[in-house]
Amino acid sequence: MRYINSFLILFFCVLQLSLAQDKTSSSDFVIAFGSCNKQNSPQPFWNEILKNTPDVFIWGGDNIYADSDDMSKIKSDYGLQNSNPNYQKLKKVVPVMATWDDHDYGKNDAGVEWSKKEESQQLFLDFLGVAKEDTLRAREGVYTSRVFEIEKGSVKVIVLDTRYFRSALRKSTEEGRRYEPYENNEGTLLGEKQWKWFEKELSSNYSDFVVIVSSIQFLSSEHGFETWGNFPHEVKRLKDVLIRKGVRNAIILSGDRHISEFSMTSIKGLKYPLIDFTSSGLTHAYEAYNGESNKYRIGRVISIPSFGILKFDLDSYTVTMQIRGKNNIVLQEYKRQYPKE
């Protein structure tokens, strides 16, 4: 009898510990996101993403790999992705938001010059199930926003389009670099029409957190590929508008690179550090990665397939950011407490 009592005491202690851990790990709002997804490759993460009970899933770009001026091919590729049974399972229970990047836009590294962008945009909206009469159908570009109201507050997601208006990139003559930055405030990434919309979205914001989705990295710019750093005046403009509008607790999500990492910088005038959470890719990654410079990096680079999770605790104003991989394993985690005022 004594052994049975001891066993029961141990059992209840373990149960209480487990419940305490569950309570500690509970979240008021969960975002899952990812990028770089080949529609004809194995897609191992949809069920793993669902295990995190996300309140929204965000495509970060390169949602399919089409790379074609044949719209029937792009339509077929989107159809193949939409027919994936595990992705269908996710769509039934989780709202989906998205931006695009070059491979679903239709041409590698393309911007404003892409001749098929209007047709491609309609197929992108078809993929997301946007109604034919929706005002997004008449908008130039795929930028949009949504406020998620929850019991303790709200989270606003702003999805940017870094393709439709973006000036052609400047090719670099330096070995190992594909592109080099514009000078003298030349070129644009978002285009004036999108910038005005973006600033209005930030002006009218009342949410506790603002999540800004960019298909390309915002902070990391030393690698010589696509990045906001190719338009340094646009980087400055975004930082300035965050300060000027007094934007609360902004976090940037990005993709494109086939690696996942956290980047962070302090900005004078903001009460919190600005974090760029890169998650890429869902079906393939830069597994031959052997290092690259990023002065803003915190932690290490994850160069195997992965997806991103953000867990918001609106009591403590803490966001837990996780890079997760096979079997939902946490490959890297960064936790940040934000100011309430």
Residue 341, pLDDT > 50, answer: yes
pLDDT at res. 23: 36
As a whole-number percent, the residues of the chain with pLDDT over 70 amount to 93
**Is 231 exposed, middle or buried (CB count within 10 Å of its CB: 0-12, 13-18, 19+)?**
buried
Which amino acid type is present at position 90?
Answer: L
DSSP state of 173: -
325: tokens are 């991989």
Label the pairing between strands 144-150 and 153-159. antiparallel
Are 100 and 61 in contact by the 8 Å Cβ rule? The answer is yes
86: tokens are 């595990």
Euclidean distance between CA atoms 210 and 226, whole angstroms: 24
More confident residue, 254 or 3: 254
In tens, the pLDDT along 236-281 reads 999 999 999 999 999 999 999 999 999 999 999 999 999 999 999 9
Residue 97, pLDDT > 60, answer: yes
The residues that bridge with 308 in the sheet, in sequence order, are: 33, 323
DSSP state of 90: H
pTM, to two decimals: 0.92
pLDDT at res. 185: 96
- pLDDT (mean) for 102-125: 98
As a whole-number percent, the residues of the chain with pLDDT over 90 amount to 91
pLDDT at res. 25: 55
Q: Which of 331, 336, 333 is nearest to 48 (CA)?
A: 331
pLDDT at res. 204: 87
Are 56 and 158 in contact by the 8 Å Cβ rule? The answer is no
pLDDT confidence tier of residue 22, bands split at 50, 70 and 90: very low
Conformational region of residue 291, where left means phi above 0, alpha means psi within -120 to 50, and beta covers everything else: left
Query: Which range has the worst mean pLDDT, 10-14, 99-103, 124-128, 139-143?
Result: 10-14
In tens, the pLDDT along 148-205 reads 999 999 999 999 999 999 999 999 999 889 999 999 999 999 999 999 999 999 998 8
Q: Looking at 83-150, list the stretches that DSSP marks H as alpha helix, in order from N- to C-terminal side.
A: 85-93, 102-105, 117-127
Are 185 and 314 in contact by the 8 Å Cβ rule? The answer is no
Please give the backbone phi and psi of residue 188, each rounded to the nearest 5 degrees, phi first.
-145, 150
Which amino acid type is present at position 256?
Answer: D
Average pLDDT score, the chain:
93
Are 102 and 62 in contact by the 8 Å Cβ rule? The answer is yes
Residue 128, pLDDT > 90, answer: yes
Residue 18, pLDDT > 90, answer: no
Are 277 and 253 in contact by the 8 Å Cβ rule? The answer is yes
Superfamily of domain 29-337: Alkaline phosphatase D (PhoD) (3.60.21.70)
Whether the CA torsion 179, 274, 280, 100 is positive or negative: it is negative
3: tokens are 């052994």
